[in-house]
Chain A
Amino acid sequence: MTAVTAARATGQALERAEAAGLNATLAWSNTALEAEAARVDSMPVPGPLHRLPVAIKDNICTAEQPTTCGSKLLEGYHSPYSATVVDRLRAAGAMVACKTNLDEFGMGSSTEHSAFGRVKHPLAPERVPGGSSGGSAVLVAVGAVPMALGSDTGGSVRQPAAFCGVVGVKPTYGRVSRYGLVAFGSSLDCVSVFGKTVSDAESLLWAVAGHDWRDATSVDRPIPDRAPARTTLEGVTIGVPVEYFPADLDAGIGAGCQAVIARMRELGARVVQVLLPHTRYAVPTYYIVAPAEAASNLARFDGGRYGARRGPHADIAALYQGTRGHGFGAEVRRRILTGTYVLSAGYAEAYYVKAQSVRARIAADFTAVFAGGVDCLFTPTTPTPAFAAGDKIQDPVAMYLADIFVCPASLAGIPALSLPIGRTKGLPIGGQLMAPMFEEASMLGIAKLLERSLDGSAEVVR
């Protein structure tokens, strides 16, 4: 097989996904795919991702395709440079398959907030695939690509991975360069990966990870070896935080998680209950920190130097207000206003500064648990399976609470992943592992064993 053959197969798969009305893809073309194939075939030495098609969330800049961030404001915008992660995956021999649909600028948990229409769940089209990296999750779920890049700011890879039944890995903050990822919440944003299997996700993660001098928050640490295949969990302590199993947890998800916990015990793990007492403050903390940073990061979209100008612009104020007022969608505008509020004079102390202090406490909860001998934490990824489109669109706070189990790891900067652990009423369930800073390799090793020991596509019996 040549890369050209692989490219054709990918093109057909993307066409099928389009034909099914999933709306997961943004820019792509068979011509571009063939050019990628020719490039890969001409590489003198095959890289670790040789000939693998990779889908890329459309908030990651590519010089070859448009980069829209799912926003009208950037419709038609061609970035004059590519993100570090794109350069790296191409250097590793991968082919850029397509750009994928997303909640505008990564803000959302359902991929309903895209200027280019909502993405549909692959198993239940009236439901959402999760978000904000919904397009990437869906393309991996339907097998159009074996792996995809997303971005996880407060769960935007793990939550759609759980909804779609694929693997989603958020590395330690700083492990992967953010250069070229259009910023949403800079202190939280992590370029993250989807894979059909843990091993696929791992391959992509380590191909794009590593220090990048262009990102002052990227960490200069060696990339670990791929996780060895474990056969037991002997000597491994798994912490199960009680706060992640509330009374109103979806029953199917609760049962699925209990089954995993039982399986981990059988595999030799010591499973202990732990406390992460500040968990309940994670969502409000996140919805101060992330909008504050978002309001700042999105200030550059003023219609002056790039992007589509909107509305009348008799003077500069009209240009700014029209471009931003009409170019940004409803959710982005809410977050900008919220972020402006929490940073404005007279409120910053009570909101932004306070949130930073609570964020430190959330991180300290994790540090204490890991210092107490826990190797990895296990929780459900989401409180419910994929919800119906339109369910939460009118109530932003209800939408925010969909991220209740995923945003704590984002606030703490620790690595976390979601893997399929079964289904309830036909919808996938995700189980989440969270590990100490830079312990991705041990987390991935545990995930691989669980993946082999569980049937992620099996209906969980209550």
Chain B
Amino acid sequence: MSWEMVIGLEVHLQLGTRSKMFCGCPTTFGNPPNTNVCPVCLGLPGTLPVPNESAVRLGTRAALALGCTVHRRSRFARKHYFYPDLPKGYQITQYDRPLATGGAVVIDSPERGAIEIPIDRLHLEEDAGKSLHDRLPGKTLVDLNRAGVPLAEIVSAPVLRSPAEARAYLTALKQLLTWIEVSECSMEKGSLRVDANISLRPLGAARLGTRTEIKNLNSFSNVERALVAESARQQAILDGGGAVTQVSLTFNADTGQVRAMREKEASRDYRYFPDPDLPPLLLDEAWVAACRAELPELPAARRARLISEFGLSPYDAGVVNGERRVADYFEAVVGAGADPKTAANWVSGEAMIGFNATGTFAVSAAQLAQLIGMVRDGVVSHQAARQVYAELGPAAGEPRQVAERLGLLQIRDTVALERWVTEVLGAHPAEVERFRGGETKLLGFFTGQVMKRSQGQADPQRIQPILVAKLRGE
């Protein structure tokens, strides 16, 4: 039988706030254990949560960018379970009244092309701490620095059809969330985490099969690999006439296998109820409208505009638009007078290499525009411009000065050029004769000789007319 995969993803996103969701502790990463803690995030008796305004604002911003409806009224609920890194015995999250519902992300599916993936909901919650199980035999060590860090959970509709599509969804989501600056979106630092739900059903069937959940996937490629492994496992069960049981799984990246987590049977009854410590979260329309107004132009719209306004190819537009700062840089280069297509080549080429390595652009947009102009005007060759670019930086000065210092300026002085041409022709009488006999391809030889004589500084574009005139004129 042919099976169809039904995949839904839950993305946990650490919101880029300074302080935690419900207390004033810092959210910095990598501090010694239990140093970013206070009575509130330790869950000490008598303490109470107070929500962070920035977390609500960043969550709203993400929801608006995803096209969700942001609810005027939402509320926090308690989700109960016992675990060593959950200090209160419950997690404060949103349950029946989430911050936002009903958005969508357009993804580039390898199988289906550009498709829209609906977002079911986005809600706010607090993170748990960290348990270390392998440091002391028979013991678990608990660090609560991360406990209470603000998260947005973004739940997709279960409409993804392949592991590759799941990865495309995550790529598009990460691009958008990074773009609007709500999160660092670093899987290495745990600021972006993924749980994947997957079930199989006979191709064409409407009813969903039993799903399993793979928890805490820590890279996009592991999401893809885990889904491949789990779909194969489910298919083997179903093909053998068996039934999939609902279970939570972990993925071992070393073996490439999924494994069921041991859970107590009762632990799924989370006993949600509205948190009595937190009155409803009410957002007035003006506040939401202000959040909307602060949103930058979003990636899809910008890519379309890069194509229509600057005549970029869809591919170039995609590359330049990969990150908001790159697109901003591109537009600044064009704004400073550079030709858009040339600018796109530079930005996606030389500039991108440096940006990927350092996260910044060493050469200002104005400098790059000048350099592009110098190539256009024949002041430097394209080759020379790349050398100039490599030398440019905040302290290196203007492109023309750098080119001059490196001796890369092209000589366009007709007198000098004529002198070199005359010298070259004088030195190669045999070749002159052959040229005049019809061997016109020798023009390249003469050009090379002039360049050599000028030590590479002659403008090749200008040498040729002089050469041709002299060769014919004699």
* 17 A–B contacts from the bound complex (CB under 8 Å): A61-B45, A67-B45, A80-B39, A81-B44, A182-B45, A183-B46, A186-B277, A216-B50, A295-B271, A296-B80, A299-B88, A300-B45, A305-B43, A305-B142, A343-B272, A344-B269, A352-B273
Q: Does A179 contact B45, Cβ atoms closer than 8 Å?
A: no
Q: Does B47 contact A179, Cβ atoms closer than 8 Å?
A: yes
Q: Does A304 contact B84, Cβ atoms closer than 8 Å?
A: yes
**Among candidates A77, A80, A183, A348, residue contacting B271 with C-beta atoms closer than 8 Å:** A348
**Among candidates A69, A180, A213, residue contacting B50 with C-beta atoms closer than 8 Å:** A213
Whether A19 sits at the interface, judged by CB under 8 Å, is no
> In the bound complex, what is the Cα–Cα distance between A344 and B80 (angstroms)?
10
**Among candidates A178, A213, A298, A306, residue contacting B44 with C-beta atoms closer than 8 Å:** A306
B residues with a Cβ closer than 8 A to A are 39, 42-51, 78, 80, 82, 84, 87-90, 140, 142, 144, 264, 269, 271-273, 276-279
Residues of chain B contacted by A295 (CB below 8 angstroms): 271
Whether A181 sits at the interface, judged by CB under 8 Å, is yes
* A348/B273 contact (C-beta < 8 A), A79-B44, A83-B46 known: yes
Known: A79-B46, A352-B273. 20 other contacts (CB 8 A): A67-B45, A79-B44, A179-B46, A180-B46, A182-B45, A182-B46, A183-B48, A185-B276, A186-B276, A213-B50, A217-B276, A296-B90, A296-B273, A299-B82, A305-B43, A305-B44, A305-B144, A340-B271, A344-B271, A348-B273
* Nearest CB in chain B: distance from A40 CB, A: 24
Q: Does A296 contact B48, Cβ atoms closer than 8 Å?
A: no
Q: Does B48 contact A214, Cβ atoms closer than 8 Å?
A: yes
* Nearest CB in chain B: distance from A153 CB, A: 12
Interface string of A300-334 (1 = CB under 8 A from B): 11101110000000001100100000000000000
* Nearest CB in chain B: distance from A368 CB, A: 24
Q: Does A343 contact B273, Cβ atoms closer than 8 Å?
A: yes
> In the bound complex, what is the Cα–Cα distance between A181 and B50 (angstroms)?
16
* Nearest CB in chain A: distance from B294 CB, A: 26
* A304/B142 contact (C-beta < 8 A), A80-B39, A179-B46, A179-B48 known: yes
Whether A187 sits at the interface, judged by CB under 8 Å, is yes
Residues of chain A contacted by B278 (CB below 8 angstroms): 216-217
Whether A292 sits at the interface, judged by CB under 8 Å, is yes
Q: Does A299 contact B45, Cβ atoms closer than 8 Å?
A: no
* Nearest CB in chain A: distance from B28 CB, A: 21
Residues of chain A contacted by B269 (CB below 8 angstroms): 344-345
Q: Does A300 contact B84, Cβ atoms closer than 8 Å?
A: no
> In the bound complex, what is the Cα–Cα distance between A304 and B87 (angstroms)?
8
> In the bound complex, what is the Cα–Cα distance between A69 and B45 (angstroms)?
10
> In the bound complex, what is the Cα–Cα distance between A306 and B43 (angstroms)?
10
> In the bound complex, what is the Cα–Cα distance between A187 and B275 (angstroms)?
9
Which of chain B's residues has its CB closest to A174's CB? B279
Which of chain B's residues has its CB closest to A215's CB? B48
Interface residues of A in 157-183 (CB under 8 A from B): 178-183
Which of chain B's residues has its CB closest to A298's CB? B89
Residues of chain A contacted by B43 (CB below 8 angstroms): 300, 305
Interface string of A42-81 (1 = CB under 8 A from B): 0000000000000000001100000101000010010111
Residues of chain A contacted by B48 (CB below 8 angstroms): 178-179, 183, 214-217
Residues of chain B contacted by A348 (CB below 8 angstroms): 271, 273
Interface string of A449-460 (1 = CB under 8 A from B): 000000000000
**Among candidates B47, B49, B82, B271, residue contacting A296 with C-beta atoms closer than 8 Å:** B271
> In the bound complex, what is the Cα–Cα distance between A178 and B50 (angstroms)?
12
Interface string of A186-230 (1 = CB under 8 A from B): 110000000000000000000000000111110000000000000
Residues of chain A contacted by B46 (CB below 8 angstroms): 60-61, 67, 79, 83, 178-183
Which of chain A's residues has its CB closest to B264's CB? A317
- Max chain B C-beta neighbours (<10 A), residue from A60, A300, A320, A343: A300
> In the bound complex, what is the Cα–Cα distance between A343 and B84 (angstroms)?
22
